[in-house]
Amino acid sequence: MEKNDAINFKTLEKELQAALAADEKYKRENAAKLRAVEQRVPSYEEFRGIVLASHLKPLEQKDKVRGKRTVPWNCHSTRERTFQDVATEIPQEKSSFQPATSAEFYRDWRRHLRSGPERYQALLQLGGAELGHLFRMDVGFGLLGELLVALAEHVKPSDRTAVLGILHRLANTGRFPLNLSLLSPAEREGCQRLFEKLQAMGTARPMQGGLGMEEEPAAGLQGEEELLRELLGLYGVH
């Protein structure tokens, strides 16, 4: 085996630790979400607080409140880096966004895709079919709203068909009605704005063709409009 072909086991170990940490975080927040639903919390803010605090553990009798503490009981409340933070720091080069699991999507979406254009291009790159496969069980807490906002802010007429496909696949993911009902007011506004743009694009499309340009088949346009009407009902947009 040549030197360039040697396996970097240290890097593989770090990647495994990061994947395990992301998967554990997803499972923990999902369990907290289910508990909050069972408790019938009265507001979205309280629901969000329960999920965001899912990493906290109650103090036991042996825990010392007084005296010097060498390890903070709530590692998320300090700005100092923890072992988990160090373990999940993996040098990554710029590469295509290709998560294999929903946990990987959640991790990379939050850590590496910070800007709206980056997130929008990542969604188009994956496409509706792949997104539907990744989230067939459930879309992670708070993620559906972020997806809708990213689409609403950057949708283009040339991407209308692809965006409709993404929305259709998301509407068929697990617990979609529940995730839709938990959208924040800003996210609901973004969803409304997205569908308004899609409707306007459909109305303006027949006027975009010029002389000598091939017109899009009427069957394709009709199919998109039927899909759009179906999605309006599924997303509760009026």
Q: Which of 73, 93, 94, 91 is nearest to 82 (CA)?
A: 73
Q: How far apart are CA 153 and CA 148, in angstroms?
A: 9
Q: pLDDT tens digit string along 179-190?
A: 999 999 999 999
What's the CA angle centered on 23, arms 22 and 25, to 5 degrees? Answer: 65
Of 64-73, 110-119, 183-192, 199-208, which gets the smallest average pLDDT?
64-73
Q: Which two tokens stand for residue 137?
A: 């069980």
Distance of CA 155 to the CA centre of its chain: 17
Of 197-201, 219-223, 233-237, which gets the smallest average pLDDT?
219-223
Q: Model's pTM, two decimal places?
A: 0.58
pLDDT at 211: 38
Q: pLDDT tens digit string along 111-148?
A: 888 899 999 999 999 999 999 999 998 887 789 999 99
Distance of CA 93 to the CA centre of its chain: 21
**In the predicted structure, residue 85 carries a pLDDT above the cut 70:** no
Q: Which of 177, 176, 149 is nearest to 163 (CA)?
A: 149
pLDDT band at 55 (very low <50, low <70, confident <90, very high): low
Averaged pLDDT, 167-179 = 94
pLDDT at 91: 41
pLDDT at 162: 96
Residue appearing with tokens 């890097």 = 11
Residue appearing with tokens 């072909």 = 5
Domain definitions of the chain by residue range: 8-56, 98-206+217-238
- Asked if residues 201 and 172 have their Cβ atoms less than 8 Å apart, the reply is no
Q: How far apart are CA 57 and CA 79, in angstroms?
A: 19
**In the predicted structure, residue 40 carries a pLDDT above the cut 90:** no
pLDDT at 56: 63
Q: Which of 163, 157, 150 is nearest to 200 (CA)?
A: 157
